[in-house]
Amino acid sequence: MAVPVPVPIPNLTPVSSSSSAVKPVVIFTTPPNYAARLSHLLTLKGHTPLWCPTITTHPTPQSLTSHLSPQSISLLSAIAFPSRASITSFSLAALSLPKPLLPSHGSTLILAALGKDSELIDTQFISQICSNLRRIKVLVPPTATPKSLALSLGEGYGRRVLCPVPKVVGINEPPVVPDFLKDLEGGGWIPIRVDAYETRWVGPNCAEEVVRKGEQIEGEVDAIVFTSTGEVEGFLKSLREFSWDWGMVRKRWPRLLVAAHGPVTAAGAESLGVDVDVVSPNFSSFQGVVDALDAHFRILVQE
């Protein structure tokens, strides 16, 4: 495994500290490309967001380029995008290539994506691939999980599916991607794995703000939101750097609510020893986990 290096993180405008005494303080650990959106949703609910990113994502479009040449892409029957970052990296890779990537006539190419990520696969995106929009089929499974994505593709019959997935650096690769590839193989597909972007641990100090609050007498925290298993592992790994562990977090904030963005993240957190209190039933976007967390806060207020 490559040696992790500290990653610079852009600043988000902090919420006024004067509001934290009356508004629930919610830690969230998303990468920078998702942070502003989740912070905004939490703020709209009247919460005080505290951003402590534990992983970051960086596109590596050069790793995709050879797979998008006319000779290579014509062999594909589908492209399965398991994340927003994979779609972004694909777009960046396409910029350096003659377009459209496919001729106007030929077999249908399926573009599969999850939930709100599919909004990136618009007419402009599709036009980069083929001028004949009828040759492209966009597939969005009813449930926004990689397993559902694999199932929605149906029987593969030995066809090829390109899978732009992350290369994980600094933490262990969560089982999500290997399981996704196995599900595709089980459905008769031939998955072509490409490390289209990097998911990298931010570094040993990423939980420092949480530890600092824990050492303050009035450093209250009401909830923490995880949106991926990698975030959980990165958080726990940083806690150990400060001689903390999850048990100490629970002891310091016994009423802390742990919210997970969907069942995949919840299962990943539980496998790492982090008990989850709130799992969003609607996980096609971050709105689901924010709504679920807010509902739990309202119940606690009534008790």
What pLDDT does 190 receive? Answer: 99
Q: What angle do CA 59, 269, 169 make, to 5 degrees?
A: 30
What pLDDT does 10 receive? Answer: 43
| Distance between CA atoms of residues 133 and 122, nearest Å | 11
What is the location of CATH 3.40.50.10090 in the chain?
A: 17-54+203-302, 59-200
Give the long-range contacts of residues 62-66, CB within 8 A, separation 24 or more: 62/93, 63/194, 63/195, 63/196, 64/89, 64/90, 64/93, 64/164, 64/194, 64/196, 65/93, 65/96, 65/97
| Distance between CA atoms of residues 75 and 109, nearest Å | 10
C-alpha distances in Å from residue 199, one per residue of 2, 7, 165, 223: 12, 11, 10, 24
**CATH number of this structure's domain 17-54+203-302, picked from the four choices 3.40.710.10, 3.40.50.10090, 1.10.10.60, 3.40.50.720:** 3.40.50.10090
Q: In what order do the strands lie in the sheet with 160-169?
A: 55-59, 190-201, 160-169, 78-81, 109-113, 136-139
Half-sphere exposure of 112 (CA within 13 A, CB side): 26
Specify whether domain 59-200 bears CATH 3.30.479.30: no
Return per-residue pLDDT of the chain as tens, 303 residues. Answer: 444 444 444 444 343 333 344 699 999 999 999 999 999 999 999 999 999 999 999 999 999 999 999 999 999 999 999 999 999 999 999 999 999 999 999 999 999 999 999 999 999 999 999 999 999 999 999 999 999 999 999 999 999 999 999 999 999 999 999 999 999 999 999 999 999 999 999 999 999 999 999 999 989 999 999 999 999 999 999 999 999 999 999 999 999 999 999 999 999 999 999 999 999 989 999 999 999 999 999 888 776
What pLDDT does 301 receive? Answer: 77
User: What's the predicted TM-score (pTM) here?
Assistant: 0.88
What pLDDT does 106 receive? Answer: 95
